Amino acid sequence: MNIQVQLFSILRDSLPPDAQRGRTTVILAGGATLADLITHLGIDQRFGFAPEEITTKAGWQVMVSDKFERDMGRVLQDGDEVKILPPISGG
């Protein structure tokens, strides 16, 4: 199934080199979850958080088809759009 992915800020480094403006399409097997997507992109290893900790411990925001999602066990559907945003920081 095809999942549209948009990553923001430092997370963009987890996308393939041909990604445009932080966006790419990822092909996953049917029944894949948000945690599977996180692992597929290597975000868990790159940033040191288990997929289940992305929203809780890391404090990132995850949206699936424009709705906030905290359950990394959520099963994705073909055509879903997933956005992942790290916490906002600045100074």
**Residue 15 vs residue 63, higher pLDDT:** 63
* Residue 82 to residue 64: CA distance in whole angstroms: 5
Average pLDDT over every residue of 43-62: 91
* Residue 25 to residue 45: CA distance in whole angstroms: 20
Domain ranges within the chain, ordered by starting residue: 2-85
pLDDT tens-place string over residues 35-52: 999 999 999 999 999 999
pLDDT of 88 > 90? The answer is no
- Say if domain 2-85 classifies as CATH 3.10.20.30: yes
pTM of whole model > 0.85? Answer: yes
**Residue 89 vs residue 13, higher pLDDT:** 13
